[in-house]
Amino acid sequence: MNPVWIISSKEVRDSLRNRWVLAAALLLAALALSLGFLGSAPTGSVKADPLTVTVVSLSSLSIFLIPLIAMLLSYDALIGEIERGTMALLLSYPVSRRQILAGKFIGHLIILVLATCAGYGLAGIALQLFGGGLDFAAWQPFLLLIAASIVLGASFLSLGYLISAKVKERGTAAGIAIGVWLFFVVIFDMALLGILVADTGQVITAPILEAALLLNPTDIYRLLNLTGYENTSIYAGMAGLSEQLALSKGTLIAAQILWVAVPLAWAGYLFGKREI
């Protein structure tokens, strides 16, 4: 059996044993259900499908939860094994460091896929049944939300592996992981908003702003979900933006995939040169 799949299956079994999938799925389902059922509370009855309401709400709130789950899964994936001494034992077998990294990443990605699909999928079905029946047209933006959430989580898994491959202590990895999460989820957009207010449109043009948004995987995720389909962009109040946005859906997807590939490749390079 391929060593990559042996390692990935071990990671999946460990996460299932530790109830990671169950906890993450329940948390995501609770978030989706609460936003779907309570989304129309401030304005009463909303003439929109519950899934549309949920997509708009989750596009802004999932950027806090999905990256955090991914970081918690990956920040000590390498350094934790190195500190415990199990990495040296693992490398004594006929398995390369690249295979170890790939196996662990695939295993954690499977956990993320299971939790996201189970949590959001079951919540979506419940919301549709509560709303009067299944509307398959409304599932297109919701399925995009699930797929984009998985890719967003994969990008933060890669960042977590990069941190784990670089640091020398598990505690340092935890601190840096929280800092990276805070930067991309909170600080980046606040800093960008402050710069835009101070600039008053003199230097930062629309193309520059769009390029800046590509530097943050959470902003790519938000744009992809809120401008990907007409019904969600209208309900989110971003119909005008979606028409003026020069970034196509393909460009946003490609940029999000790069946020997965580049940090993971960098982590592989650092892990390959590291003395164990």
Q: What is the pLDDT of residues 76-107, one digit of tens each?
A: 999 999 999 899 988 888 899 999 999 999 99
Least confident of 109-123, 129-143, 144-158: 129-143
| Tokens describing residue 184 | 């991309």
Per-residue three-class SS string for 205-227: CHHHHHHHHCCCHHHHHHHHHHH
pTM: 0.88
**Residues 242, 216: Cα–Cα separation, whole Å:** 18
User: Which residue from 208, 181, 3 is spatially nearest to 102, judged by alpha carbons?
Assistant: 3
> Long-range contacts: 38-45, Cβ < 8 Å, 24+?
none
Whether the CB-CB separation of 125 and 215 falls below 8 Å is answered with no
43-70: pLDDT as tens digits: 444 455 666 667 777 777 888 999 999 9
How much is the pLDDT for 242? 47
User: Which residue from 266, 273, 224 is spatially nearest to 105, judged by alpha carbons?
Assistant: 266
Q: What number of other Cβ atoms are within 10 A of residue 177's Cβ? A: 24
Q: Where are the alpha helices (DSSP H) in the chain?
A: 3-17, 20-38, 50-74, 79-84, 86-91, 97-130, 139-166, 170-182, 188-199, 206-213, 217-227, 230-235, 239-244, 249-273
Q: Is the dihedral of CA 223, 20, 115, 41 positive or negative?
A: negative
Q: Is the pLDDT confidence value at 228 over 60?
A: no
